[in-house]
Amino acid sequence: MRYGRSRKTPTLSHWLAGLFLFVSAWLHGVAVQAADILLTGAEDSPGVQAFVQALSELRPTDSVRFQPLATLPVPGKLPASLRLILLDLPSLDWRLQEPQGPATLVLRISRLQARQRLGSSQPAHLSLLWSDPPLSRQLQLIRQILPQARRVGVLFGEHSEFLLRELNLAAEPLGLHVFSQRWDDIHDSRPLQAVLKNSDVLLGLDDPELYSPKTAKNLLLSSYSRQMALVGPNIAFVRAGSLASTYSDQHDWLSLLDRLLDQPPASWPRALYPTRFKVSSNAQVARSLGIEPPDDVSVASLLAEGERRP
């Protein structure tokens, strides 16, 4: 005997109607969340276009475009809802004209460049994405590839001196001692020789006045003569003869931008290093110093794991 009416099996039309409602709601959500993303810089180039194209492929529901800096109005005339990404220093100088305007990501700016333009302050509408490797990460790299090193030699100049406090704070818990020497005249090798005499490894700061094509030969030959490794300051110096450095490539920067653009601009950090990074080492230099060439992928993985731990 049956008690009550049986429940009918949903028909195909019911399923299609439900699917239509779901897709409509999803498309409405996508439309609401779509963002207008503008990248700008002083010069257009194939590299810039490739970067913009890669970002647009990561964010197919957003409007991602590049517009040359010279064609833009003053920042305050841009829509407040715009998500603005600056690609070079001229675009930063343009953005600093006035505080009005959209929230802004400043891509690949070094600590030194920011210090020269902003001093010790930072406008609230800017989020600075650092290009130079974190000092703490570079010190951890030294611990991994040169475990016997305890004295870290550092040359600094007028514009990079402000980094020393941070460097010393990062070195202390690692059991490393920083021996720093001011180098005002790159033609005077005495500060370099003093650092090499009192150190186990030389750590290069991202200061282009001290680490440039003009100084590379002297730095590298002087350190080699003492069988001492130079770590950093960047991947270009690794190719020239430095032992190793951490760095972030275009894929790492795109990943960082993709993550930040998923967040409301009000939650963007004031400053940030890419969490994704790689290690580059010079195997020929390692062998000439009697060091086993590092496994770059394994070292980068160990460093990243250490940064994830609280």
Instruction: Write the pLDDT tens digit of every residue in 109-129.
Output: 999 999 999 998 889 999 999
Q: What is the pLDDT of residues 160-180, one digit of tens each?
A: 999 999 999 999 999 999 999
CATH class entry, domain 31-132+250-272: alpha beta
CATH class entry, domain 135-247+279-308: alpha beta
What value does the mean pLDDT take over residues 94-99? 95
Contact in structure between 247 and 204 (CB atoms under 8 Å): no
Q: What is the pLDDT of residues 228-278, one digit of tens each?
A: 999 999 999 999 999 999 999 999 999 999 999 999 999 999 999 999 999
**pLDDT at residue 7 greater than cutoff 50:** no
Domain with CATH 3.40.50.2300 in the chain: 135-247+279-308
pTM check: above 0.75 = yes
Looking at every residue in the chain, the average pLDDT score rounds to 91
Q: What pLDDT is attached to residue 6?
A: 44
- The Cα-based distances of 57 to 52, 256, 271, 277 in angstroms read 9, 14, 25, 21
Contact in structure between 115 and 157 (CB atoms under 8 Å): no
Q: What pLDDT is attached to residue 14?
A: 57
Q: What pLDDT is attached to residue 16?
A: 55
Contact in structure between 281 and 145 (CB atoms under 8 Å): yes
User: Distance between CA 29 and CA 19 in Å, rounded?
Assistant: 15
Cα of 302 vs its chain's centroid, Å: 19
**pLDDT at residue 9 greater than cutoff 60:** no
Which comes out higher in pLDDT, residue 3 or 178?
Answer: 178
User: Distance between CA 148 and CA 125 in Å, rounded?
Assistant: 44
Which of 9-23, 30-44, 69-83 has the weakest average pLDDT? 9-23
